[in-house]
Structure 1
Amino acid sequence: MIVTGVRATARIVARDDGRGGTALPVLEGDGPLALRRTRASGSEARIMLVGAMSGPLGGDHFAVEAGVERGARLRVGSAAATIALPGQAKGESRYDVRIDVAEGGELHWLPEQLISVRGSDLRVTTRVDLAGSARLVLREEQVLGRVGEEPGRLTSRLSVKVAGRTVLDQELGCGPGAPGGWDGPAVLGGHRAVGQLVAVRPEFAREPVAARMLGEHAALVPLAGPAVLVSAIASDALRLRRVLDEALAFLG
């Protein structure tokens, strides 16, 4: 018997409703990816991504597509951590996120952590395309293994374009089979939680944010455009979240 993984795609479109709010003309969940609208805040629509079943398992391919149209404001979170698990199907699982934000649009993409369980093999790809006056706050957090557990294989790539220009394109591989040195002093240094926060605002082009350390294991650096990147490592998910929250508060 041949076992194949699950294929699932969730789609979101946010649109200015012309009355000072944001409408959601497209809100489509699929299989294990369920979308729930929550109470709006001012002109900002809010959505929670809810896992309707375990996963991604080995061989699964999940995708989330989000489009924020001109002048709309959207915040996306998740109800719980995403857990990458081994499954009956052999081979790598995938989780692809594609984000587009038009002129004057704003997106806060703030999911919970991704946990890489021993024996899993997951590739995560996040691609963001922003118009020149778009705004973005994007947080990614990865936790390597549960308590007392070695991690699975995790490859994560994040790319961000502003007005067609690439401002960030980075990839990190961790766990069994990843390029050597991922757990060495030049990368994670034995830590088991890693994260990044990307903020894009037009005013950063006029008033760039200076590079600085944010505590012992986090750094803020300006990117080649109206954007900044905060990279952080920590011993666990709680400490990582605290660092990234402090970074976001610093950025205002």
Structure 2
Amino acid sequence: MGSTAKGILAGALALALPILLQVALEPMLGDGFLLALLFLAALVPGFGVALVWSGGAPWRLAAGALLMMAVPFASLGMLDARVLGPVPTTTLEAALGNGLAAGFRLADAAPDAALQRIVNASSTHRPTDQRNRRGPPVTERGTFLVAPVLGSGWSQADPVRLVVVQDLDEAPARPWAPSGGVLKLLPDRLRQAAVRQALAEAGLAMAPDILIARWVANPDWARVEAALPLLWLYSGALAVWNVLARGTEQRGGR
């Protein structure tokens, strides 16, 4: 493998590391201090790659270092759903015990339109910075359509363990597809507040480990659609890095 090819590969891996770490760990850790610390640590290899492989000219070094830092930060918040993990066909009961899956195709459950609610929700929290210091209160507001997904043996006395959500600030309400599955959504305070409010209005109990998801006709394709903005960002970054890394080839040819 030539020097330029090694540089391009090193850059591709360095760009991917913080992005993949964020995508893989956010469903388990949330967006707290530990994930932020790991994310910042994952940026370090990118600076080393930029210093070694971006061609030697000062402007190339600066552009390479900026690329390695800016792209991972730009990727934050681009995903709202799980995109890593299997998507098995299963029952509702088995699905709720599978923490590794990105989603499920469900054969025995569907959203209950009779119990759905449209709610105007709000959530106030104090975000933390990279030093784990709390900032001033921030209030988020949104309108959501929330429906419980219920199995055949469910009764009114049972807590709801799975709900599906539509964000009505992004698109008008759509009817639920008669068959399909769910794609798990990432933790979000505003969505969680909307779910609590909707279930309370419907007179339903909420399970402590409730799963919040998006109802989709094809979970596999929905996972690809959710990841597309991130894939486009990464592809564009690779194209820019390809130009910068070829500076080493030009320098070596002199």
TM range (shorter): under 0.3
Q: TM-score scaled by structure 1? A: 0.24
Select the structure of larger CA radius of gyration.
Answer: 2
Q: Which structure carries more strand by proportion? A: 1
* Structure with the larger RCO, 1 or 2 (CA within 8 Å, 6+ apart): 2
The structure where helix makes up a greater share of residues is 2
State the TM-score, normalizing by the size of structure 2: 0.24
